[in-house]
Chain A
Amino acid sequence: MMRYKPMAALTLLALVGLQGCASQRSESALDEASAAFQKVKDDSNVLRSAPRDVIRAGESLARAERLSSYIGTGADVRHYAYLSQRYSEIAAEHAKLALNQERIAKLDLDRQRLQLALREAKLASVQQQGKWVEAQIAALASEQTDRGLVMTLGDVLFDTGRADLKNSASRTVLKLVQFLQLNPRRVVRIEGYTDSTGTAQDNLKLSRDRAQSVADMLVDLGVDEKRIQVEGYGDQYPIEANASERGRAQNRRVEIVFSDDKGKLAAPR
């Protein structure tokens, strides 16, 4: 009996040797899978978002470890180690995704809240500005007449015989544009006037041209053409006597007649 013992021992040794050789790769696969599993199994985020994958990673790893104690199972060990590692990776990825989604949901709420705040801030400032511009327009308007609110772009804005608006008009015109933008239903009639220098015929044309040059500027600055009427009255309706240069300067003017806030405009003169 004792004679056979060395034989058996040799066989065993050979088998163990073989396994040792084959399992070098298996061992490293096992180590990697085990390391991946260690990382996910204690991570509460991963457990929460992908519990099933963590369980399967554990099961596959246990299977790989069990198989590694048998002989000739290298390929199976590596297979289950691979599966285990994949399950761990999938679980980790799902946890990352869930975390990102939580942050996205939170940020989206932030965004909505900020948008609302910004809109309110803008609205408040526009309202403030609106009131301010309205006050400015009222201050600029020379008279609240039976024609409604009338604003005069007066005296120094035109040279004698010229229809183009001087640069000093820009500020007033800008305020006008702002006012019209804040009051989108109001329309205007732009009325041109001249002093009594020159023929009535020329003055009529000149006054129309003056009104038109203001209208053009408004359109250039973004006011819809449909909201603007243009009239020329020549040297009619002077506001001062044409005897003095001062009086003539005041008669060279453009008046802007505003409609009420429903778009209703007083009839032309």
Chain B
Amino acid sequence: MRIQPLILAMAALGLAGCANDPAPNEQLRLSEQALEQAKAVGATEQVPELKLAEDKLARAKSNLATEDHRDARMRAEQAELDARLAEARVLTHKSEEQLELLQSRVKRLRKQLEVQP
């Protein structure tokens, strides 16, 4: 019974040890790709999620430089999804604009057809 707390403590230490995983180079590459993709469809810093992604990626890189691999991985993972969300939001926004434009055109056409003798 006396050993139980010890085991717990060791397990906790062990977990902490495990956390120091290998450098998340691949994840950083993915995150950067997602960020580029978001910018390619027209996301700017006006999109809050893109700003988040950029900040997190920058922090992930500095974490990588100080060999804080666990934090680097987590931030890069979050940055990737932030960027993907930014991209999706921009695309949705664009489709909404297109939809509105089409709706007004169709409306105008219908009006013209009504006055047509």
Interface size class of A (residues with CB under 8 A): 35 or more
Point out the residues of chain A lying under 8 angstroms from B5, CB to CB. 7-8, 11
Main secondary structure of the interface of B (DSSP, over half): helix
Point out the residues of chain A lying under 8 angstroms from B62, CB to CB. none
| Alpha-carbon gap, A209 to B77, bound state (A) | 86
Q: Write out, one digit per residue, whether chain A residues 70-91 have a CB within 8 A of any chain B CB (1) or not (0).
A: 0111010001001100110110
Question: Which of A40-48, A103-111, A197-205, A232-240 forms part of the interface with chain B?
Answer: A103-111
A135 contacts chain B at the CB level, 8 A cutoff: no
The reply to whether B77 and A83 form a contact with Cβ atoms under 8 Å apart is yes
| Alpha-carbon gap, A8 to B1, bound state (A) | 8
A21 contacts chain B at the CB level, 8 A cutoff: no
How many residues of chain B have a CB within 8 Å of chain A?
32
A139 contacts chain B at the CB level, 8 A cutoff: no
- Name the distance in Å between A76's Cβ and chain B's nearest Cβ: 8
New A-B pairs, 9, CB < 8 Å, besides A4-B2, A107-B106 = A5-B1, A86-B81, A90-B81, A93-B92, A103-B99, A107-B102, A114-B106, A118-B113, A118-B116
Q: Which residues from chain A sit less than 8 Å from chain B, CB to CB?
A: 1, 4-5, 7-8, 11, 15, 71-73, 75, 79, 82-83, 86-87, 89-90, 93-94, 96-97, 100-101, 103-104, 107-108, 110-111, 114-115, 117-118, 121-122, 125
Would you list 6 pairs from A and B whose C-beta atoms are within 8 A, ordered by A residue?
A4-B2, A72-B15, A73-B15, A75-B74, A79-B74, A118-B109
